[in-house]
Amino acid sequence: MDLILSIESSCDDSSIALTDINSLKVIKHLKLSQEKEHKKYGGVVPELASRLHAAALPKLLEKFKPYFKDIRAVAVTTEPGLSVSLHEGVIMAKAISSFLEIPIISVNHLKGHIYSTFIEKKATTPLLALLLSGGHTQIIKVNSYKDMEVLATTMDDSVGEAYDKVAKMLNLGYPGGPIIEKIAKKGDENRFNFPIPLQNSPKIAFSLSGLKNAVRLKIEELGGPNMSEQDKSDIAASFQKAILKHLLQKSKKIFQKEKIKDFVIVGGVAANRYINEGFKRLCKEFGKNMHQVKLEYTSDNAAMIGRWGVEAYKNKEFSKLEEIIPKATKKVSIGRL
């Protein structure tokens, strides 16, 4: 077998995977989430994340030892993310590269998310990807594994961040996305008319901070997190409705211009059924083929890093050890990734 070992540690998930370079099969994929540990702080604490990665990654790697002789390259997330977290994966990858005398591949986490679309599948580009994660909200035109162009990005918060912040305001815990989605099912999405961001602006961009503030004011008006369960559900449902409308309105503008047939939502928020259903309708209207990332690969994972790594391996895109330095940039400005 010819395998790629991949490592992901950009935020609060420690993950290692093995991907078969020829068949694209994920041979092994392990992940330890730190959600529970960060929960009590209402968000990710970088120093704690780094310490937990330092403990988790060697434990996970133990389980991959039987495959060492078949590993042809090691792929590791180097950007963007929390620098102290990225660092833990990077030092492990460098050690493996030296010890096994195999090349090292530097992977951009966002490109990894996009390539989660093609886990265990042949890649089909061009592709339009809506990246919705905790740190990013972008529409990306994917011309090839390397050539990606950001067509729209958020001017302030990301969608995942907005979900997390609203959940925090309602005292519901972290991460907020799945909780808000769940309680929204019992809510009335028409009870509150939250403003749809940039509704009257020709800008093809996203913005979540105004909506977040409108939700904050409504929560205060209703007496804060002690409001009734029904009020919370109504807030969650109305908030989600505004987010979906915003995403659809701006995506529609891009769909009108870009004739690319294939579309996908990637990143943690891609797990959201309500958002997915909305985009299924939009894709149908525009005759687009909507790909679906397997649920286990929507949130951060090493399999997606390995999948992008396969493309880099086939193109002999390797880095020198000394060139691999984690880059902490959380936001990517408009331009090419």
Is residue 271 at the binding interface for ligand KG4, with CB under 6 A as the rule?
yes
Identify the CA nearest to 119 among candidates 316, 294, 321, 317: 294
State which of positions 137-156 bind ligand KG4 (CB under 6 A).
none
Is residue 189 at the binding interface for Zn ion, with CB under 5 A as the rule?
no
Token pair, residue 95, equals 């050690």
Nearest-approach distance from CB 131 to Zn ion, in angstroms = 9
Using CB atoms within 10 Å of the CB of residue 322, give its burial: 0 to 12 exposed, 13 to 18 middle, 19+ buried.
exposed
Cβ–Cβ under 8 Å, residues 132 and 270: yes
Nearest-approach distance from CB 173 to Zn ion, in angstroms = 20
Is residue 269 at the binding interface for ligand KG4, with CB under 6 A as the rule?
yes
Nearest-approach distance from CB 217 to Zn ion, in angstroms = 30
Cβ–Cβ under 8 Å, residues 177 and 163: yes
Mask: binding to Zn ion, 96-135, rule CB under 5 A, as x and -? -------------------------------------x--
State which of positions 178-237 bind ligand KG4 (CB under 6 A).
178, 181
Of 234 and 300, nearer to ligand KG4 (C-beta) is 300
Cβ–Cβ under 8 Å, residues 22 and 307: no
Is residue 88 at the binding interface for Zn ion, with CB under 5 A as the rule?
no
One-letter amino acid for residue 253 of the chain = K
Among residues 175, 187, 278, 309, the one that binds ligand KG4 under rule CB under 6 A = 175
Of 80 and 278, nearer to Zn ion (C-beta) is 80
List % helix, strand, coil for the chain (3-state, nearest 5).
Answer: 45, 20, 35
Identify the CA nearest to 306 among candidates 19, 11, 55: 19
Mask: binding to Zn ion, 130-159, rule CB under 5 A, as x and -? ---x--------------------------
Nearest-approach distance from CB 161 to ligand KG4, in angstroms = 6
Mask: binding to ligand KG4, 281-310, rule CB under 6 A, as x and -? ------------------xx----------
Q: How far is CA 154 from CA 9, 202, 205, 212, 254, in A?
A: 24, 14, 6, 14, 15
State which of positions 294-313 bind Zn ion (CB under 5 A).
300
Q: Is 120 left (phi over 0), alpha (psi -120 to 50) or beta?
A: left
Token pair, residue 165, equals 């912040």
Report the alpha-carbon distance of residue 137 to residue 249 in Å, rounded: 14
Site for ligand KG4, rule CB under 6 A: 11, 133-135, 160, 163-164, 175-178, 181, 267-269, 271-272, 299-300
Which residues sit at the interface with Zn ion, rule CB under 5 A? Answer: 133, 300
